[in-house]
Chain A
Amino acid sequence: MSISLATEGLSKEFRLHLQGDVRIPVLADVDFSVAPGECVALAGPSGAGKSTLMRCLYGNYGAGSGRILIRHRGELVDLAAADPMLVREIRRETLGYVSQFLRVIPRIGARDIVAEPLRARGVPAGAALARATELLTRLNLPARLHDLPPATFSGGEQQRINLARGFAADYPVLLLDEPTASLDPVNRQVVVTLIAEAKARGAALIGIFHDTQIRDQVADRLFEVLPIQDAA
């Protein structure tokens, strides 16, 4: 089976120098993999390290030990050992991330925020903005909001901008951290459809879904992330 993303012996601990050098191990020897067209939901009790794993997969947290293999430009690359230049390249072309919260960039309109990943890849402004409009419309964001900076938007509106941004760029690997948490039922179903479409075009998706109903609709299988003492 071909692999889009896999971890091998991934471990992560936090060392808090300011709190008397305390060490908090969160992940130990995590091995899992996702194939193209597959959606894997991370499961496990809260605090078990699902979000930490997601952030490691995105390179936002550095891996303590182990490897994170991602298919980038046709080859498996170890993200855990990649230099910042390479991580940026992987994030631009291969790896997308939809977080729970939108990091607002002052004064930039929603449509431009959504189009930005495509623009970074060199897609002409017209095409990128058209794609952004398409996604925002599918996620039922009123057209009058498309060109406003989302700083004052509601949580649900901000989350839809994040989703549009993540799905607009057709990443081969997409990480979804609680993508439906603040959405109404109608928009949750839009997300379900977007995920199905992404799978159909061969994307690998890894998600944390608080809502088990949604999870069961989109996930092909679950990957259990257990607190370290239990896993050991």
Chain B
Amino acid sequence: MNERSSKTPLLTARDLTLRFGRIAALDGVDLDIHPGEVVAIVGESGSGKTTLLRVLSGLMRPDAGEVSYLGQDVLGMSEAARRRLMRTEWGFVHQNPRDGLRMAVSAGGNIGERLMATGARHYGNIREQASHWLTRVEIDPARMDEVPAKFSGGMQQRLQIARTLVTLPKLVFMDEPTGGLDVSVQARLLDLIRALVADLGLAVLIVTHDIAAARLLAHRMLVMRHGVVVESGLTDRVLDDPQHPYTQLLVSSVLAA
């Protein structure tokens, strides 16, 4: 059944190591992500979680270790091949929507870019897709021709998600996607991500220091400290029955909502 086939991981990382001078940003990190699985990486600032995201997505080279995506060696692949992945089967959602959007290009153009980059050449179809995706991320399609600079922070982030998901990627990297947003806006965005991920069967690797967000979104969780994954497992087990002293500290520091 499909369950059995999904036992083959989408992305696999083995023994990733990266040092910045005397500081170990990654110290022997192993990781598997399966199709349809949402994995959260939590930990305090400087724990290496963003570095891990950058290494896994091929943006940064580790000193040692392996990353493979469906059997392809990510670190060894040509830049052309990696870019192709990045605009088709992968997506990256940045904390700051300005890093992921073209601020001078209309919302429709932002969503259409990945389609055009992969060969879409029918203006009407691109508009239709853009309109569909704006609706899915709860932006009025009538605003399709406005530039994102006119949008609120939450809308910009939703637009960035639409722009990323339009090619139906298999794997999406998210770096603190709710980071700069008001709490009320955060909840809405998290809920939207949760629904989209479930509907589309996406695999998502999400870096966050928001434990509540991780509980809501992630099936599995990795806790990082000083470049080391100190604990990992089912999200509810890691949070409700933490084993490592650092995880216990992290969980006990969260205000109960």
Interface pair A60/B7, CB less than 8 Å apart? no
| Residues of B209-257 whose CB lies within 8 A of A | 216, 219-220, 233-234, 236-237, 240-241, 243-245, 248-249, 252
Asked if B194 is at the interface (CB within 8 A of a chain A CB), the reply is yes
Closest to B220 in A: A84
Interface digits, A38-82 against B, CB 8 Å rule (1 contact, 0 not)? 000000000000000001000111100000000000000000000
Interface pair B245/A18, CB less than 8 Å apart? yes
Q: CA A48 – CA B194 in complex, angstroms?
A: 37
Interface pair A107/B241, CB less than 8 Å apart? no
Asked if A89 is at the interface (CB within 8 A of a chain B CB), the reply is yes
Q: In the complex, what's the smallest C-beta–C-beta distance from B240 to chain A, in angstroms?
A: 5
Asked if A87 is at the interface (CB within 8 A of a chain B CB), the reply is yes
Interface pair B188/A88, CB less than 8 Å apart? no
Interface pair B240/A85, CB less than 8 Å apart? no
Q: CA A108 – CA B37 in complex, angstroms?
A: 21
Interface pair A88/B237, CB less than 8 Å apart? no
| Residues of A90-131 whose CB lies within 8 A of B | 105-108, 119-120
Q: CA A88 – CA B7 in complex, angstroms?
A: 12
Interface pair B188/A106, CB less than 8 Å apart? yes
Interface pair A106/B187, CB less than 8 Å apart? yes
Asked if B191 is at the interface (CB within 8 A of a chain A CB), the reply is yes
Q: CA A85 – CA B235 in complex, angstroms?
A: 12
Asked if B3 is at the interface (CB within 8 A of a chain A CB), the reply is yes
B residues in contact with A88, CB < 8 Å: 219, 234
Q: CA A123 – CA B190 in complex, angstroms?
A: 24
Interface range for A: 20 to 34
Interface digits, A217-231 against B, CB 8 Å rule (1 contact, 0 not)? 000000000000000
Q: CA A108 – CA B198 in complex, angstroms?
A: 14
A residues in contact with B236, CB < 8 Å: 60
A107-B187, A107-B188 are known contacts. Are A62 and B237 too (CB-CB below 8 A)?
yes
Asked if B82 is at the interface (CB within 8 A of a chain A CB), the reply is no
A residues in contact with B249, CB < 8 Å: 17-18
Asked if A186 is at the interface (CB within 8 A of a chain B CB), the reply is no
Most chain B C-beta atoms within 10 Å of own C-beta, residue among A15, A55, A62, A108: A62
B residues in contact with A84, CB < 8 Å: 219-220, 233-234
Asked if B34 is at the interface (CB within 8 A of a chain A CB), the reply is yes
CB contact between A105 and one of B194, B240, B244 (< 8 Å): that residue: B194
Asked if A16 is at the interface (CB within 8 A of a chain B CB), the reply is yes
Interface pair B237/A18, CB less than 8 Å apart? no
Most chain B C-beta atoms within 10 Å of own C-beta, residue among A14, A16, A84, A108: A84
| Residues of A188-215 whose CB lies within 8 A of B | none
Interface digits, B76-119 against A, CB 8 Å rule (1 contact, 0 not)? 00000000000000000000000000000000000000000000
Interface pair A17/B233, CB less than 8 Å apart? no
Q: CA A216 – CA B228 in complex, angstroms?
A: 51
A residues in contact with B7, CB < 8 Å: 85
Q: CA A144 – CA B244 in complex, angstroms?
A: 46
Interface pair B237/A59, CB less than 8 Å apart? yes
Q: CA A108 – CA B3 in complex, angstroms?
A: 27
Interface pair A17/B245, CB less than 8 Å apart? yes
Closest to B1 in A: A73
| Residues of A157-176 whose CB lies within 8 A of B | none
Interface pair A105/B219, CB less than 8 Å apart? no
Q: CA A14 – CA B252 in complex, angstroms?
A: 15
Closest to B240 in A: A60
Closest to A15 in B: B243
Interface pair B240/A59, CB less than 8 Å apart? no
Q: CA A84 – CA B7 in complex, angstroms?
A: 11
Q: CA A85 – CA B6 in complex, angstroms?
A: 9
Interface pair A106/B241, CB less than 8 Å apart? no
A84-B233, A89-B3 are known contacts. Are A105 and B216 too (CB-CB below 8 A)?
yes
Closest to A103 in B: B215
Q: CA A205 – CA B238 in complex, angstroms?
A: 26
Closest to A119 in B: B198
Interface pair A60/B245, CB less than 8 Å apart? no
Q: CA A15 – CA B247 in complex, angstroms?
A: 12
8 examples of A-B residue contacts, CB within 8 angstroms: A17-B245, A18-B245, A60-B241, A61-B240, A62-B243, A84-B219, A85-B34, A119-B198
Instruction: Give B contacts to A, CB under 8 Å.
Output: 3, 6-7, 34, 37, 187-188, 190-191, 194, 198, 216, 219-220, 233-234, 236-237, 240-241, 243-245, 248-249, 252
Known: A18-B245, A55-B240. 14 other contacts (CB 8 A): A16-B248, A18-B248, A18-B249, A18-B252, A60-B236, A61-B241, A62-B241, A84-B234, A85-B6, A85-B34, A87-B234, A88-B219, A105-B194, A106-B188
